[in-house]
Structure 1
Amino acid sequence: MDIRTPRERLPYSAIVDRDPLPAPQGARLIVWPIVNVEDWDISRAMPRQVLPAPTGMAVTPDVPNWAWHEYGMRVGFWRLKQAFDRWGIRPTLSINGRVCLSYPRIAGAAHEAGWEFMGHGYIQMPMHQVEDPREMIARTVQEIAAFTGRKPLGWLGPGLTQKLDTVDLLHEAGIRYIGDWVLDDQPCRLRAGQGQMVAMPYSVELNDIPMMAVQHHSAGEFLQRVTDSFDRLYQEGGEQVRVMGIAVHPFLSGVPHRIKYFEQAFEYMLGHEGVQFMTGEQILAWYEQAAPARGE
């Protein structure tokens, strides 16, 4: 397997030089909502912390921060799902494979509602710490397929982490789009294995982890940032269709003091014509038809 750097996988392309893509149903903006659900292993260091240990030293087991995440799975997820059900929007579920076993109530509700399942590692830990990435990817795909009846087409690395050969391993496992390469407002193609992979416009800016857990903004920042981004992309979409990814986590956006800003942001976008809310799988199907792949 040839190990390629990102620049070797992805030719540079200026968006102002591209031919306009035929938009789905005449839309000028595609909104891609993603809900991330994860399994935090109590035997490991927690992926995020809201409450540092009293001495500033990381501890294991880290029960307070595990419980912070658990609130999202017990309560926060259901606030988010209620909102999506009310709007008739089917988001993409970025899901650790083990969630299908440890939280079948959540996985079952999302599957019943028709949400797309996107692989997000087996448990929440960086790809760089996985001893056998090929086996982990296969196990994640297997768990999702066993639960939903079909293999996922999309992948998001835990914390967007990947190694230089991860794209090839994912392509080998049947994955056809990834959210880890946050570098464009449109889908674009990467060289992967013996074929190609589509990099989907995920987001680290319209994402409640950097916004709330890392940068510690006030709850209303989510509404401001989403609507400001929407306005600009909606304007630019009049000439060249754009894709806007929005990523949330139940333990952050699903809590009482933030949920209203999440709801207000989506209600604002729903008030505009020429906007399509799509899953990653739907965006992939549109893009493959709008810009067919060419042989290398």
Structure 2
Amino acid sequence: MNRNVGNSVRNRVAYNSIESRPPLALPGGARVAIWTIVNVESWSPLGPMPRAVLPPPMGQVLLPDIPNWAWHEYGMRVGFWRFLDVLSARNLKATFAVNGTACAQYEEACLAAHRGGWEFMGHGYVQQPMHVTSDQTAAITSTIEAIAKITGAPPRGWESPGLTETDDTLDLLAEAGIEYVADWVLDEQPLPLKTRSGSIVSVPYTVEINDVVISAVQQHASDEIFRRGRDHFDRLYLDGAKAPRIMAISIHPYLTGVPHRIKYLEMLYDYILSHEKVMMWTGAEILDWYQGQARTDTTAN
């Protein structure tokens, strides 16, 4: 693995506190911009599942792992369509983080997301860490091509499976034309990350308002996404009076798309929408706003 100083993690991004950086301003004096990320993944029944709801019998992984594969598959057959209904009923558009192989496996869902005006974002070619991807360049290129086949245009954003990156991933993404990433959950505002071919923007993502963490890892009650999301939003809304904030809501069809959780996602959206000075954007819209702010700041100086 390449560990030279120029590619080290800390040298990708300068430390700059939210208290001391140049000011940003959302349109109309808005305080918070919210983006929803719907994650659609390709799980092969031929190998171990990326995560499981049932432990293996007697601690031994048995393949094919029907119950855990089917747990995920349910999300694409049923849960995804609940997301589509919830978002369209509120005139909201998600950012659709999709594995390249899922574009063909779940073409019906992908086409529905595209018709709904959702933004598409690369999410790896298959659902596995970038560290075990034998050819990252090929995986990135194949994912971009698969998305372009559905949407007619390459994606501008990228979320690595499990937010994993090697020392080379950012450089390869930038060289492939990706403009922003969601892997660096270290701020509440966008910021530039250095690559060997210029910079790429980090758009704030979340491991807090994320149903993998809430429901699959921490195993909270069904209403946790609403309770935590409401409290998270309230503080960002308060802090956003001084400096605007970005809030991400990351959901997966097989988790929040199930019957006992979906109403809490609806409740969270309705709570957020009851406030003024809130933007409901996609990742690309956040990127465009941030780049516009950067250009304005450069012009002013």
Quickly name the TM-score band, shorter chain normalised.
Answer: over 0.9
Instruction: Report 1:35-74 matches (<5 A).
Output: 35-74=38-77
The question of 1:139 aligning with 2:142 is answered yes
Aligned residue runs from structure 1 range 26-105, under 5 A:
26-105=29-108
| Whole-Å separation in 1 of the counterparts to 2:28 and 2:86 | 24
Residue 247 (str. 1) matches residue 279 (str. 2): no
Q: Give me the whole-angstrom Cα distance separating, in 2, the residues matched to 1:203 and 1:168.
A: 22
Counterpart Cα distance in 1 of 2:240 and 2:40 = 30
Is structure 2 residue 167 aligned with structure 1 residue 148?
no
**Any stretches of 5+ residues in structure 2 without a counterpart?**
none
Tell me the TM-score normalised to structure 2 length.
0.95
Q: What is the CA–CA distance in structure 2 between the aligned matches of 1:199 and 1:59, rounded to whole Å?
A: 39
Give the deviation of 1:284 after TM superposition.
0.3
Q: Which runs of 4+ in 1 moved over 2 A?
A: none
Contact 1:169 1:193 in 2 (8 A): no
CA RMSD of aligned residues (A): 1.3
Sequence identity, in percent? 49
SS of 2:57's partner is coil
Q: Is residue 2:28 matched to residue 1:25?
A: yes
Please, which of 274, 280, 286 is the counterpart of residue 277 of structure 2? 274
* Residue type at the aligned position of 2:123: H
Q: Give the CA deviation at 1:26.
A: 2.4
Corresponding position of 2:12? 9
Cα distance between partner residues in 2 of 1:193 and 1:87: 41
SS state of the match for residue 183, structure 2? coil
- 1:129 Cα offset (Å): 1.1
The one-letter code sitting in structure 1 at the alignment partner of 2:164 is: T
Residue identity matched to 2:221:
S
CA distance in 2, matches of 1:114, 1:218: 32
Deviation at 1:65, TM superposition (A): 0.5
Report the 3-state secondary structure (helix = DSSP H, G, I; strand = E; otherwise coil) of the residue aligned with 1:67.
helix
Specify every segment of 5 or more residues in structure 1 that has no aligned partner in the other structure, as ranges: none
Deviations 1:127-160, CA, capped at 9 Å, x for gaps: 1111111111000001111111000000000011
Q: CA deviation at 1:288?
A: 0.2
Any conservation in 2 of the 1:20–1:239 contact (CA below 8 Å)?
A: no
* 1:53-90 deviations in Å (ceiling 9; x for gaps): 11112222211101000000000001111000000001
Q: Which amino acid aligns with 1:44?
A: G
**How many residue pairs are counted as aligned between the two chains?**
294
- Check the 8 A contact 1:187/1:199 in 2, yes or no: yes
